[in-house]
Chain A
Amino acid sequence: MIRLRLFLHSLGPIGVISIVILIVLLGSSLLAPWLAPYDPNQIRMSERLAPISGEHWLGTDTLGRDVFSRLLYGGRVSIMLALAVTVATMLIGLIIGTLAGYFGGWLDDVTQAGIHIFQGLPGLSFMIAIAGTLGPGVESMFIALVVTSWADFSRVVRGEVMKIREESYIEGIRAIGGNHMYTLIRYVIPNMIGPIIVLFTVRIGRVILSIASLSFLGLGLQPPTPDWGVMVNDARPFFRSYFHLILAPGLCIALISFAINCIGDALRDALDTKTEKAGWLS
């Protein structure tokens, strides 16, 4: 309860706005089939690049599709994908990082080498290569994003675990007879939940931006999927005359990333037990 109060406290006014943004964006994405006034993929060549009007709230795009409808649908794939990627990365990172950090020894050495190798590989280029190898599509983006980000996650988790391993409550449970499995599941993992949640939110934000970047290079989500990153890219030739075409989806990306990061920030403050301490005197 204190945590929740602290969380709300550390959210601040910006945080509250962020939560509202997140709810609106997620909600409208989920409810897109009911909210959207048009089929997002319905092409109307006679109405190409229509301006903003009562009929088309955000005008139409180069194929006469209703931009507002596309915008409503535009978060679905990215957000779901970002979520899936982050969950997968988190699981992989959690398993690898925990085992390496907890047991140390050769297991840690091997993991460390693996982490260094994957971190030493150039991120976006690597992602391009994987996406190219596996062919375009959601699945290969998923794999590319997971492969390029598990190492970061594992490293952070490993560091956390090594810190926790030194705490005396770990020795305490061993003295009572807890085996490794028990210690890991009941003691190690729950105690890094804070940093993990924070990392999780930061990652989601970053993955959403990565998806947009890949789409920018033509390797992201395949047409005609309505997607914010793709929409920004598609609007580039027209944005001088139709600024809203690039502003609306770009703003959506920025806002959702902003909101998620902000909430992660507040979570960090709330979950950080240090903030509860009094300062020098404690």
Chain B
Amino acid sequence: MLYVVRRLASTIPILIGISLLAFLLSVISPGDPAVEALSMSGISEPTEQEIEIKREELGLHESLPVQYGRWLVKAVQGDLGVSYMTKESVSGEIMRRLPVTLSISLLSVLFAVGLGVPFGMLMALKKNSWLDEAGRFLALTLVSIPGFWLAISLITLFSEKLGWLPTSGYGTWQHLVMPAMVLACGTCAILMRLTRAALMEALNQNYILTARAKGLREPSILSFHALRNSLIPLITVIGTYFGSILGGSVIVEVIFALPGIGMFAMDAIFRRDYPVIQGYVVFTGVVYVMFNLLVDLSYAWINPQVKLGVKLK
């Protein structure tokens, strides 16, 4: 427990670094949040006076360090501020979108792992067979397809032509199938290759020989001895991948009309909604840090050496 707390504490400078970078990036981008908050692109524009008042209201007159400092002080207290655009609290907005993003992330991880790992295992077992070659081809194809291209094709096929799945929106599990597939395909391929490589390496280890010498059956050697030992690279990839899609995937969200975190963030970036950008970046930072932590903890679970080491501390 202490270890976890210490790990978390050590990530605070990283979070501050991330937020500072995001802040700098926001303020040096051309454009004025006050103007953005007041205008509707291409329809109406505010007058100078209105802009002045708005700037005052948003506190944009203060010097940059003061603005950042003020934000930081509040953020430390758990207050991420209020969106310039929607006037709602940033944390509330993120939390509202979290279930959407979380559910597609989960499903896509499920897809990626559910397909990638067994396929990779099969490839490792039947290495150099036609099956291995086919798997390799599949994996290479999956990493090479541009996501948006796949999304368009899927919608056309499954929604327009076949009518099996809804094109877009959020609600039932059917809504999540296609976005999750698009998100999963690259990672599925990586997992396939990785599982194959890791398993093949594990199968070459001496303890597998020991296990065979005991007369164990192949399947139980594979699952009890080899797989567990090859989990670490897999978990690392799954962890970082899950973490990164929890930060939202703009393109998939736009195409499939999913009101997730990525689209929200992109809107904020386009409209210079500093509090939202900051809040979002801190959120993704926390997710990143958390997943790194989880990955580390799972190493401990897999690798008893780390586990017992942790207990000692």
Minimum CB–CB distance from A213 to chain B (whole Å) comes to 6
Minimum CB–CB distance from B115 to chain A (whole Å) comes to 18
Q: Is B250 an interface residue (CB 8 A)?
A: yes
> Across the interface, do B13 and A113 meet the contact criterion of CB distance under 8 Å?
yes
**1/0 per residue B209-240: CB within 8 Å of A?**
10000000000000000000000000000000
A86 to B144 Cα, complex, angstroms: 17
List A contacts of B17 (CB < 8 A).
113-114, 116-117
**1/0 per residue B68-96: CB within 8 Å of A?**
00000000000000000000000000000
Q: Is A122 an interface residue (CB 8 A)?
A: yes
Minimum CB–CB distance from A155 to chain B (whole Å) comes to 11
Interface segment among A51-59, A167-175, A251-259: the answer is A251-259
Cross-chain contact of B137 among A14, A116, A132, A232 (Cβ < 8 A): A14
Cross-chain contact of A255 among B133, B144, B248 (Cβ < 8 A): B144
> Across the interface, do A261 and B144 meet the contact criterion of CB distance under 8 Å?
yes
Known: A128-B269, A213-B148, A246-B149. A121 touches B143 (CB 8 A): no
Minimum CB–CB distance from A6 to chain B (whole Å) comes to 14
List A contacts of B15 (CB < 8 A).
120
How many residues on the A side are at the interface (Cβ–Cβ under 8 A)?
46
> Across the interface, do B146 and A253 meet the contact criterion of CB distance under 8 Å?
yes
A253 to B152 Cα, complex, angstroms: 15
List A contacts of B147 (CB < 8 A).
209, 213
Q: Which of A195-235 contact B (CB under 8 A)?
A: 205, 209, 212-213, 216-217, 229, 232-233
Known: A121-B284, A125-B250, A133-B29. A261 touches B140 (CB 8 A): yes
A241 to B209 Cα, complex, angstroms: 60
A216 to B250 Cα, complex, angstroms: 11
A12 to B130 Cα, complex, angstroms: 11
Known: A213-B146, A261-B144. A125 touches B269 (CB 8 A): yes
Known: A12-B133, A120-B285, A246-B152. A254 touches B146 (CB 8 A): yes
Known: A14-B133, A129-B269, A205-B144. A280 touches B14 (CB 8 A): no
Residue ID in chain B nearest A17 by CB atoms: B137
Known: A122-B281, A240-B156. A132 touches B269 (CB 8 A): yes
> Across the interface, do B149 and A254 meet the contact criterion of CB distance under 8 Å?
yes
Cross-chain contact of A116 among B14, B143, B149, B208 (Cβ < 8 A): B14
> Across the interface, do A250 and B269 meet the contact criterion of CB distance under 8 Å?
no
How many residues on the B side are at the interface (Cβ–Cβ under 8 A)?
53
List A contacts of B206 (CB < 8 A).
280
A119 to B25 Cα, complex, angstroms: 16
Residue ID in chain A nearest B247 by CB atoms: A122
Minimum CB–CB distance from A125 to chain B (whole Å) comes to 5
Q: Which of B143-188 contact A (CB under 8 A)?
A: 143-149, 152, 156
A269 to B149 Cα, complex, angstroms: 30
> Across the interface, do B149 and A128 meet the contact criterion of CB distance under 8 Å?
no
Residue ID in chain B nearest A14 by CB atoms: B137
A118 to B219 Cα, complex, angstroms: 42
> Across the interface, do B265 and A119 meet the contact criterion of CB distance under 8 Å?
no
Minimum CB–CB distance from B17 to chain A (whole Å) comes to 4
List B contacts of A124 (CB < 8 A).
249-251, 262
Cross-chain contact of A117 among B21, B148, B205 (Cβ < 8 A): B21
Q: Which of B259-300 contact A (CB under 8 A)?
A: 262, 265-266, 269-270, 277, 280-281, 284-285, 288-289, 292
Q: Is A123 an interface residue (CB 8 A)?
A: yes
Cross-chain contact of B145 among A119, A130, A133, A254 (Cβ < 8 A): A254
Q: Is B55 an interface residue (CB 8 A)?
A: no
A and B contact pairs by CB, cutoff 8 A, 10 listed: A13-B133, A117-B21, A122-B262, A123-B247, A125-B262, A129-B29, A205-B143, A209-B144, A261-B140, A280-B209
Q: Which residues of A contact B (CB under 8 A)?
A: 12-14, 113-114, 116-117, 119-126, 128-130, 132-133, 135, 205, 209, 212-213, 216-217, 229, 232-233, 236, 239-240, 246, 250, 253-255, 257-258, 261-262, 265, 274, 279-280
Question: Besides the contacts A116-B288, A120-B14, A120-B15, what 8 more A-B pairs have beta carbons closer than 8 Å?
Answer: A12-B136, A120-B284, A120-B288, A122-B248, A125-B265, A232-B146, A257-B144, A280-B206
Q: Which residues of B contact A (CB under 8 A)?
A: 11, 13-15, 17-18, 21-22, 25-26, 28-30, 133, 136-137, 140-141, 143-149, 152, 156, 193, 201, 204-206, 208-209, 244, 247-251, 262, 265-266, 269-270, 277, 280-281, 284-285, 288-289, 292
